Amino acid sequence: MFHNVDIWRRALPANGDPMWSFWPFGQAWMCRNLFDRDKSYLARIWPILRESARFCMDFLSDTEQGLAPSPATSPENCFLVNGKPTSVAQASENATAIVRTCSTTSSLPRRIWTTSMAMTKVWSRRQG
């Protein structure tokens, strides 16, 4: 919960509406701008992309519509349940889009690296 850090660097759970106090996909949202085709940069950030993708995949649950990140919130929207607004839902398009982007971008470095033997060796060492 990166957005709940105070000026003393304490990251404690915030009291309040989950709409703004609980967003488990913040790290994956931030990772979507890390991806770059520069191979040396990718070698350095690969652990971040990999772990973010693993977190997202672990958060998926079976729903009536298939796999979805659940529970989910949206930092901008409430959902209506029995006519009442609520901040937590079984799934949200916001979380689904973030997970989809994270899983796509985390698989791209491997495809890029396989074209270069040197980067393939770096990737293999980091996997081990």
Reduced to 3 states (helix: H, G, I; strand: E, B; else coil), residue 14 is coil
Quick one: CA torsion of 52, 55, 57, 62, rounded to 10 degrees? Answer: -150
3-12, 66-75, 88-97, 115-124, range with the lowest pLDDT: 115-124
- Does pLDDT of 1 surpass 50? no
Instruction: Return the pLDDT at 2.
Output: 46
CB atoms near residue 97 (< 10 Å): 14
* Residue 5 β-bridge partners: 11
Give the residue with greater pLDDT, 105 vs 109: 105
* Residue 86 β-bridge partners: 79
Look up residue 29 and give its two tokens: 């949202």
Using one digit for the tens of pLDDT, what is the confidence trace for 59-90?
A: 888 888 888 888 888 777 788 889 998 888 88
Closest to 128 measured CA to CA, from 46, 55, 57, 32:
46
66 Ramachandran zone, left/alpha/beta (phi>0; psi -120 to 50): left
Give 67's Cβ-side CA count (13 Å radius): 8
Using one digit for the tens of pLDDT, what is the confidence trace for 8-67?
A: 766 666 666 777 777 788 888 888 777 766 778 888 888 888 888 888 888 888 888 888
Q: What is the pTM of this model?
A: 0.66
Look up residue 25 and give its two tokens: 């996909």
Instruction: Return the pLDDT at 83.
Output: 92
Reduced to 3 states (helix: H, G, I; strand: E, B; else coil), residue 47 is helix
Give the residue with greater pLDDT, 5 vs 20: 20
Cα distances (Å, whole numbers) of residue 1 to 5, 88, 115: 8, 15, 36
